[in-house]
Structure 1
């Protein structure tokens, strides 16, 4: 029998391999990845400074150790450049050599790439993005070399706010810039966002909202960040965290259907036989959820399917804990196609906001502060599943 091939060594790829090995110890598994295949938890990157972790301490195991643990062949620094779905074959480039490989099942766990803004100026090439341990090593290397500590962060979304909190907590002066009028614009109602921003501001984080960066110029040892509103600020390092875009190019070339991500059904199947997708690249039944819990649910279900126990993924309500200790926040995002009204309860240290649909059902919530956080479990039980369990 041909091997099962996993493309990608992120959390999705490794979690799937672990779950599969619990069910089948012998089937040949091959992982192909573009980097060094170190195993680590990506969420730890945005609070590593506060946790006093150096990049070398973040990796849990290298490729050699993971290959041994999972009885799996791992091809590092290798790029898949062609998939022939009909022949169940792919090719990848490694050390400037093209390698052909047949597969019985192919799993695309290719993740997402950071969105890069079109910014002019001779400093624009120095903008950092952090979407991998490799990125983070480069970021920390530059950070450690800076005598001054002014950091500009482009993007007031989840990752931007987490990095801002981590940097500010460890002595850096952070300024967060976003075109939106509020932080976490896609997740929070306005009045919660205002309170969240206020708490982060009180910790020292500055926000410049309603405008974007036009130009970044090098001036001696720092940068001048020029905004579209005509203002400018000095920064010693610029980090871009405006969001992620699923990697769908290799899927498109293989005639796999894509939309925002690689389209799959609840069995994680694409439209091509024996090709599946998991993780940040997978759009499951129209849902694109780049968070840890959905990845775990996908990997457990797909592992069973791969051993012949056809298992549909189950998405219960899965709240997201935002790593901003200066303003503790838990969010259960409201499904895009649901109209809701927000009902809010205020506490001394924050608030609880429930998103209620026309039938009186809670479809999402926001918990700001330690008092509200205590109601997380009770509220989660009241929210309908995003994808119900199937027999």
Structure 2
């Protein structure tokens, strides 16, 4: 019997392996990882500083431990060079050696890559990203060498704001730059974004909005000088890019698997090629990309059942996202793209509830800012229709 092969050792790959092993302890299982395959939860990286966690404390287990725990072969530091979907075979490269790996079912859990802007200047190659534990180690090493602890963050999205809050809470000076006129521009209506921004600014975080970075230059005494399109110059010890993520579709495209923004799948998480599935940040399920933990969990549970012989479509209930910004507690359930909504807001002493309703007065999304509003999370979530209904 050929093994089920999972490409990728992130949360999606490990969660699927764990869910599958609950249903089938013996089926041969192989995981292929381009790095050391340490098992960790990527969302913990953006608040590890305030939790006083050093990088070595973040990993829940190394490849050896996980292989034993999940009765699985894990190939580390191994690249998948190509997929032959007709032969059900992969071409692999490890330490310069090329080998092949057969599969019965193949799961693409290859995640997403950080978007990188084309930025001029001799310091642009030193701009850091944090999309893995390997990246995070490098980020922490650079932080530890900072004397003035000045960090400039490119991007005021979810990850940028979480890192800014974590840095500010640990004695660093965070400045966040974004082309949008507000933080979390894709998730929040303007009036909520304004209150959210104000709460973060009260902790000392600085926002420079409606502009972008043109150049990052090395400076012998100041570290880096970040030149903005509005003519402003900022001094930084570390520059962190958190512009966003782009699903990793290159391997799928090379194998002639249908892609759009992500790897296209149906509700069974099947791609356009037989016996090949996609899961996690790379998967565009029924036209929807949701790079968050809860959709990933839903996918893993459904696909594990399908791989174990119980054909199970993925079910997407309403899944709010909790933003890890303690200075401004925030929960967001974005309204579906393409749905016209009207916002209604209720204010409290410590925040607000903003509800998005459609033309039929059905609740389609909401934003909860502050501790008082946050108590309404479960009540409101139950009122929002499923994004992908459960199939009976």
- Fold shared per TM-score above 0.5: yes
Superposition map of 1:73-112 within 5 A: 73-112=73-112
Partner of 1:304: 305
Q: CA deviation at 1:15?
A: 0.2
Partner of 1:118: 118
Q: CA deviation at 1:384?
A: 0.2
Q: CA deviation at 1:337?
A: 1.3
Superposition map of 1:241-280 within 5 A: 241-280=242-281
Q: What is the alpha-carbon distance in structure 2 between the residues aligned to residue 253 and residue 128 of structure 1?
A: 28
Q: What is the alpha-carbon distance in structure 1 between the residues aligned to residue 103 and residue 96 of structure 2?
A: 22
Q: What is the alpha-carbon distance in structure 2 between the residues aligned to residue 331 and residue 307 of structure 1?
A: 34
Partner of 2:169: 169
Q: CA deviation at 1:113?
A: 0.3
Superposition map of 1:340-351 within 5 A: 340-351=341-352
Q: What is the alpha-carbon distance in structure 2 between the residues aligned to residue 253 and residue 18 of structure 1?
A: 29
Instruction: Indicate yes or no: 2:373 matched with 1:372.
Output: yes
Q: What is the alpha-carbon distance in structure 2 between the residues aligned to residue 298 and residue 40 of structure 1?
A: 18
Partner of 1:295: 296
Partner of 2:196: 196
Superposition map of 1:149-228 within 5 A: 149-221=149-221, 222-228=223-229
Partner of 1:318: 319
Q: What is the alpha-carbon distance in structure 2 between the residues aligned to residue 279 and residue 47 of structure 1?
A: 21
TM-score, reference length from structure 2? 0.99
Q: What is the alpha-carbon distance in structure 1 between the residues aligned to residue 207 and residue 305 of structure 2?
A: 46
Deviations 1:146-205 (A, max 9, x none): 111111000000000000000000000100000000000000000000000000001100
Q: Secondary structure at the match of 1:81?
A: strand
Q: In structure 2, list runs of 5 or more residues that go unmatched.
A: none
Q: CA deviation at 1:231?
A: 1.0
Q: CA deviation at 1:307?
A: 1.0
Q: Secondary structure at the match of 1:204?
A: coil
Q: What is the alpha-carbon distance in structure 1 between the residues aligned to residue 302 and residue 67 of structure 2?
A: 22
Paired residues, number: 391
Partner of 1:385: 386
Q: CA deviation at 1:95?
A: 1.2
Q: CA deviation at 1:370?
A: 0.2
Partner of 1:64: 64
Q: CA deviation at 1:233?
A: 0.9
Q: In structure 1, list runs of 5 or more residues that go unmatched.
A: none
Q: What is the alpha-carbon distance in structure 2 between the residues aligned to residue 24 and residue 233 of structure 1?
A: 55
Q: What is the alpha-carbon distance in structure 1 between the residues aligned to residue 295 and residue 13 of structure 2?
A: 13
Q: What is the alpha-carbon distance in structure 2 between the residues aligned to residue 324 and residue 310 of structure 1?
A: 39
Q: Secondary structure at the match of 1:53?
A: coil
Q: Secondary structure at the match of 1:147?
A: coil
TM-score, reference length from structure 1? 1.00
Q: What is the alpha-carbon distance in structure 2 between the residues aligned to residue 123 and residue 49 of structure 1?
A: 25
Q: What is the alpha-carbon distance in structure 2 between the residues aligned to residue 96 and residue 31 of structure 1?
A: 19
Q: Secondary structure at the match of 2:215?
A: strand
Q: CA deviation at 1:108?
A: 0.2
Partner of 2:335: 334
Q: What is the alpha-carbon distance in structure 1 between the residues aligned to residue 102 and residue 235 of structure 2?
A: 53
Q: What is the alpha-carbon distance in structure 1 between the residues aligned to residue 92 and residue 199 of structure 2?
A: 49
Q: CA deviation at 1:294?
A: 0.3
Superposition map of 1:229-248 within 5 A: 229-248=230-249
Q: CA deviation at 1:99?
A: 1.0
Deviations 1:242-282 (A, max 9, x none): 00000000000111000000000000000100000000000
Q: What is the alpha-carbon distance in structure 2 between the residues aligned to residue 69 and residue 134 of structure 1?
A: 23
Q: Secondary structure at the match of 2:231?
A: coil
Q: Secondary structure at the match of 2:240?
A: strand
Deviations 1:277-298 (A, max 9, x none): 0000000000100000000000
Instruction: Indicate yes or no: 2:55 matched with 1:55.
Output: yes
Q: What is the alpha-carbon distance in structure 1 between the residues aligned to residue 237 and residue 203 of structure 2?
A: 20
Superposition map of 1:4-83 within 5 A: 4-83=4-83
Q: Secondary structure at the match of 2:208?
A: strand
